[in-house]
Each structure stands twice: as C-alpha cells, then as structure tokens.
Chain A
C-alpha cells in the first residue's frame, strides 16, 4: 500500500486548523481512525446493537460473533497460543490495573518485591503503587541510562529472593527506544519471576509475538493502533489468568451466583464484567487488517532523527544503541526555550505535538526537566510533513529566542 492510498483512508488528515493543513504528530497519544473502523463502528451502532453472550435472538448472536472474531484476530496478531488468553478491556490503563489486581491477589505476599522500569508511563506505575499499599510490597526501580536505554544488567543486583514481578514497557512513550524484552524475559525466566510488558506503544510499530518475547502479560490499547477509543487488551498466559481472581464482578463474568458464594466463568470472560464495548471492540479486526498493509515509515523516522540530532540546541531523549531500534517518536527539549511555548507556536502553524510530562513524571525528574516536547509519527505522515515540522520547529525556536 502506498502512503497516498493509506492517507486516503483517514478522513481527519483532510482537516485544516487555523486555515492550515493539519499535520498530526501526536499519534503516540491517540492515532487517527481509518474509514474502515469508523464504518464498522457506525454499522454496529446503527444496525448491529445487542447485548453479547446472553440472548438467543439473531442480533445478539451476530454481535457476539463480531466480538469473538475480534478476539481471534487479536490473538493471531500477537501470536497468542489461544484466543482465551485475550482479555478485552477499555484500554491499556484498564488492562494494567486489572493485571495488578489479579497478580497481587493470586501471586504476591507481604514483603514481596516488584521491579518497575524508570521510563514507565504512570499507568504502569500507579496500579503497582496501589497494590503495594494494599499488600505491603516493595517497589524497586530499574533505571535507564543517559541515552534512555534500560539498564538491564542492573536487574542482576535488583533481583533477590523476594522479587516476584518485573514491569517494563516494550517501548517507552517518552523515549521511543525498543526495550530488549527478550533479554529481560530470559533473566526473569531463570529466576522464576513474572514479566509484564506494557505494549501500548510497541504494538503500534513492532511485530509482536508474545510467545517469542517470552513475557507473561502484554497490555495495549485500541485507540493508539487505529482502532476504537475505549478498547484495549490484556494478554496473559492462561495458567496465570486461571489463578487470578476478577477485579470487577457482575454481568457475564459469572458461572453461578448464590447467596452463599459465586463462581466465575472461565477466562477470558471472568475478567469482562459488565456490558462490553459492543461497537468498539470488533473494530480491532479492521484496525489490524489495515496495520498489516501499512508502509513502514522508516524513511520519515530516519529523516527526523537525523535532523533533530543535527540541531545543536536540541536535546533528544532516547537514543537507540547498536542492538536497539527506535520507533518514530521524538521527545526533546530546546536549550533556553520552554516546551510549552514551542507547542503553542507549532499549533498555530497547524502542527499537533505534545508538550509536558507525558504521564512520566519520574522520568522527567531523572532527566532534570519540567517537561519535553514530543512529536510522534505514524505511517501516514509524509516526508513533506516531516520537512515542514523541522522547518517550523526552527522558525518557532528563532521566534522564541
């Protein structure tokens, strides 16, 4: 598929802001939606709405089939051994909270330890802090080095007999560097430690094979991968999910309910209490279908990387090493210029970027900054847009100096 063909599928790319063509570079926060996803969502909302898994009527069966087809599509996309291991949620944050609850109840005792990557999004920090308050656990931090790469070798002295779990991202939402998950998985496996991976950014740009990665849990959102907002996935190994209690009760998550005690449906339904996202979740099928055909975007990524590296007053965070890759996500600061001023000027030039702490306050502290500017690209962003971004950035910096 050519980039022109790809762009034609995203209506929002036709938009203008302040009379200028929109250059959308905030894809790491939320990607745009293709017409196929919009159509699917609309079609289900207009003609295919019914409650899932329960009623015997025709539309309920149709809606259930659409929902379960999405489960199969996701399972195949991440090479999960079984579709039963794919739990649908409202997004990665929901997935991580659900995982924290279940892992905590099933596998952790007072005094146990969790290791969390320093570059994690708040969504992969706070659920573990909530858990550790409830269960009196200890949290340790796996640091990143000055280049923004996880210091995986530090695991060797962070791990002790009480370590039960390591939580890292596949790719940090600030640094964009692909963490060597396989390497971490190998260390965890040898020590009998569980490994959870926040794949919110990774799933968008990398081929994900959960079996090859060797992790125990992998979480991501639909809205960052061109799917519907309010959708997400928690993948987990079945023998672990089986042992984890549900976080929410009610709806189709039950097997039997009596006043004495209730029993749960098998996974994944055990974790899907309440009415599901009937219109949104089936859209994973269309999103995945399109992702498989997208051009790589490597040329744009390399161009922006080289240009930013070449600007002497720009400090880019997250530099890949010889053995690591970077996704097209660039967080940086400019000497003597506030990130928010830059974002505001770029906005008036039609460029949507992110500024601030990007839900990673501990990482901002580690780099001694109050915030950064982030430009995150998708395969539908063209070379012309990349060039416009670079020249606009230069112009904005000179205005603000």
Chain B
C-alpha cells in the first residue's frame, strides 16, 4: 500500500464514526494494539518534547527504509502515535519528506484535540520529519 493509500484508508476508517467519542474509541483500540517499546528504550533521547503525556519514538533504518516504533503512558496519545507509525513506518526518508502531513487535517484531529494535545501532535510530526531528515 502506498503512503497515500494508507492515509486514505485511515481517513475512511475514521469517517465511519460520527460521534467524537466513537472516534476516540477507535484511537484507544489503535493505542491498545500498538506493540510499544521495552522499558530500556523509553529513554530521555526518545522522548518527544512538547507533549503533556510522555511519548517515546524510536527510529531504525534498514536497507534505506525507516522503521518507527513508539509508546506513551496515555492511551489516546498512544493511539495517535500508533496512527502515525502505521502510516510512516516502513517508508523511505524521501517518501516521508515528500508528504505534507495534510491527511491529519482531513481527519479533523487537530481541531478536536485540546490545544495542549494538538501541540503534542505537532511535536510528533516534527520529530518524525526530523528523523527523516537525519536519515536522508
């Protein structure tokens, strides 16, 4: 599945739910299904700054492809980072940098998060982009 197709799939999934509580339920399920990180990888340097709850992002490069894994102590945040990981993990740095992350606007995620959490989302995106730049 291309990056764009994956994004469209999430947009379609998300639009099935009308009520925001149901959308949250979807994010919570995503959060629960995320593998997470072992305690040894929940380190200061993997912590994403600017989030109210703690979010860790790990990035590994194999054969020119970036693999992300992540964790958070809050389940909805975990769901959000899981969503980002499912889109951007297994892509090349060039593919990630070519994307404008605008599919998040289609989800209406930012508008429906509290400002502190919306800032957290911005920080997550910035970190993923920074990892792509580092590994370009």
When distances are taken between beta carbons in the complex, the residues of chain A under 8 Å from B74 are 338, 340-341
Stretch with Cβ within 8 A of B (4 or more), from A39-47, A93-101, A206-214, A345-353: A345-353
Contact of B114 with A344 in the complex, beta carbons under 8 Å = yes
List the 4 closest pairs (A to B, CB-CB), nearest first: A338-B74, A340-B74, A341-B76, A340-B53
Across the interface, name the chain A residue whose C-beta is closest to B79.
A341
B26 to chain A, nearest CB (A): 11
> Which residues on A are within 8 Å of B, measured CB to CB?
18, 337-338, 340-341, 343-345, 347-349, 356, 370, 399-400
Contact of A344 with B25 in the complex, beta carbons under 8 Å = no
Known pairs A337-B75, A338-B53, A370-B53; list 17 more (Cβ under 8 Å): A338-B74, A340-B52, A340-B77, A340-B117, A341-B28, A341-B74, A341-B75, A341-B77, A344-B76, A344-B117, A345-B24, A347-B114, A348-B20, A348-B21, A348-B24, A356-B52, A400-B75
Contact of B54 with A399 in the complex, beta carbons under 8 Å = no
When distances are taken between beta carbons in the complex, the residues of chain A under 8 Å from B21 are 345, 348-349
Q: Which residue, B74, B77, B114, has most C-beta atoms of chain A within 10 A?
A: B74
Q: Is the contact region of chain B dominated by helix, strand, or loop, or is it mixed? A: helix
Q: Is B73 an interface residue (CB 8 A)?
A: yes
When distances are taken between beta carbons in the complex, the residues of chain B under 8 Å from A343 are 114
* A399–B20 alpha-carbon span in the complex (Å): 13
Other-chain residue from B24, B25, B73 in contact with A338 (beta carbon distance below 8 A): B73
> Which residues on B are within 8 Å of A, measured CB to CB?
20-21, 24-25, 28, 52-54, 73-77, 113-114, 117
B104 to chain A, nearest CB (A): 17
* A18–B23 alpha-carbon span in the complex (Å): 14
When distances are taken between beta carbons in the complex, the residues of chain B under 8 Å from A344 are 24, 76, 113-114, 117
A2 to chain B, nearest CB (A): 33
B23 to chain A, nearest CB (A): 9
* A338–B21 alpha-carbon span in the complex (Å): 17
When distances are taken between beta carbons in the complex, the residues of chain B under 8 Å from A348 are 20-21, 24
* A345–B19 alpha-carbon span in the complex (Å): 12
Across the interface, name the chain A residue whose C-beta is closest to B54.
A370
When distances are taken between beta carbons in the complex, the residues of chain B under 8 Å from A347 are 114
A19 to chain B, nearest CB (A): 10
Contact of A18 with B20 in the complex, beta carbons under 8 Å = yes
Other-chain residue from A18, A345, A370, A400 in contact with B73 (beta carbon distance below 8 A): A370
Contact of A399 with B28 in the complex, beta carbons under 8 Å = yes
A26 to chain B, nearest CB (A): 12
When distances are taken between beta carbons in the complex, the residues of chain A under 8 Å from B76 are 340-341, 344-345
Please list 13 pairs of residues, one from A and one from B, whose beta carbons are closer than 8 Å in the complex, sorted by A's number. Answer: A337-B75, A338-B53, A338-B73, A338-B75, A341-B28, A341-B75, A344-B24, A344-B113, A344-B114, A356-B52, A370-B73, A399-B25, A399-B28
* A338–B76 alpha-carbon span in the complex (Å): 9
When distances are taken between beta carbons in the complex, the residues of chain B under 8 Å from A337 are 75
B38 to chain A, nearest CB (A): 19
When distances are taken between beta carbons in the complex, the residues of chain B under 8 Å from A349 are 21
B30 to chain A, nearest CB (A): 13
* A104–B21 alpha-carbon span in the complex (Å): 52
* A343–B20 alpha-carbon span in the complex (Å): 14
Contact of A400 with B54 in the complex, beta carbons under 8 Å = no
A345 to chain B, nearest CB (A): 6
Q: Which residue, B53, B114, B117, has most C-beta atoms of chain A within 10 A?
A: B53
